[in-house]
Structure 1
Amino acid sequence: MAFSGSQAPYLSPFAVNFQTGFSGNDIAFHFNPRFEDGGYVVCNTRQNGSWGPEERKMHMPLQKGMPFDLCFLVQSSDFKPMPFVTTIPGGLYPSKSITLSGTVLPSAQRFHINLCSGSHIAFHLNPRFDENAVVRNTQINNCWGSEERSLPRKMPFVRGQSFSVWILCDAHCLKVAVDGQHLFEYYHRLRNLPAINKLEVGGDIQLTHVQT
Structure 2
Amino acid sequence: MAFVPAPGYQPAYNPPIPYTTMIAGGLRVGMVVCVQAKLPSDYNRWAINFATGQENSADIAFHLNARYDGRDRVVFNSRQGDVWGEEEMKREMPFKSGKVFMVTFEVTRNNFQVFANGAPFYEFAHRIPLDRVGWLQLVGDIQVEELSIIGSGPAVKGGLVLAAAQSNLLPMLGPPILNAPVPFSTSIRGGFIPKRTVVVKGILKSRAKTFTINFKVGYNNDIALHLILRLNKKAVVRNSFINGAWGEEETAVTKNPFKEGEYFDISFRCGEKSIKAYVNGTHCFDYAHRLYNFQQVDKLDIDGDANIVFVFM
TM-score, L = length of structure 1: 0.69
Residues 131 and 147 of structure 1, relative CA distance in 2, 3 Å threshold:
same
Query: Once the 2 structures are TM-superposed, how far is the Cα of residue 187 of structure 1 from its aligned partner?
Result: 0.5
**Which of residues 185, 189, 198 in structure 1 aligns to 2:290?**
189
Does the 8 Å contact 1:119/1:141 carry over to 2? no
Say which SS state the counterpart of residue 191 (structure 2) adopts: coil
Q: Determine which of 211, 220, 243 is the counterpart of 1:141.
A: 243
Query: 1: distance between equivalents of 2:178 and 2:275?
Result: 27
Q: What are the ranges of 5 or more consecutive residues in structure 2 without an aligned counterpart?
A: 8-20, 28-32, 34-47, 57-136, 145-163
Number of aligned residues: 172
Question: Given the alignment, which residue of 186, 199, 205 partners 2:300?
Answer: 199
The partner residue of 1:126 within 216, 225, 228 is 228
> Contact 1:127 / 1:134 at 8 angstroms: preserved in 2?
yes
Q: CA deviation at 1:47?
A: 2.6
Q: 2:210 and 2:272 mapped to 1: Cα distance?
A: 29
Matched, 1:51 2:51: no
Superposed, 1:51-200 pairs within 5 Å as: 51-52=55-56, 78-117=178-217, 118-153=220-255, 155-200=256-301
> Counterparts of 1:150 and 1:136 in 2: how far apart (Å)?
9
Following TM superposition, by how much is the alpha carbon of 1:46 offset from its aligned partner in structure 2, in angstroms?
7.4
Compared CA separation, residues 77 and 116, structure 1 to 2 (3 A): closer
CA offsets, 1:99-150, max 9 Å, x none?
0101100010010000001321110011111111100000113311000001
For residues 78 and 192 of structure 1, the distance between their equivalents in structure 2, rounded to whole angstroms, comes to 30
Alpha-carbon distance change, 204 to 184 in structure 1, aligned in 2, over 3 angstroms: same
Distance in 2 between the 1:177 and 1:185 partners?
9
Give secondary structure in 2 for the equivalent of 1:99.
strand
Q: Which amino acid aligns with 1:131?
A: K
The residue type equivalent to 1:116 in the other structure is K
Say if 2:177 and 2:312, in contact at 8 Å, map to a contact too: no
Runs of 4+ in 1 over 3 A off after TM superposition: 52-57, 67-71
Quote the residue 1:9 is aligned against: none
- SS of the aligned residue for 2:232 comes to coil
- Contact 2:275 2:289 (8 Å CA) reproduced: yes
Cα distance in 2 for partners of 1:19, 1:147 equals 42
Residue equivalent to 2:41: none
Contact 2:267 2:278 in 1 (8 A): yes
Which consecutive residues of structure 1, in runs of 5 or more, have no partner in the other structure?
4-14, 22-27, 29-43, 58-66
In structure 2, the CA distance between the partners of 1:46 and 1:86, relative to structure 1 (3 Å rule), is: closer
Q: Quick one: which amino acid aligns to residue 239 of structure 2? A: N
Q: 1:165/1:50 Cα in 2 relative to 1: closer, same or farther (>3 Å)?
A: closer
Kindly state the Cα deviation for residue 164 of structure 1 after the two structures are TM-superposed: 0.4
Matched residue SS, 1:194: helix
SS in 2 for 1:2: coil
Letter in 2 for 1:86: T
Give identity over the alignment, percent: 30
- How does the TM-score come out when normalised to structure 2? 0.48
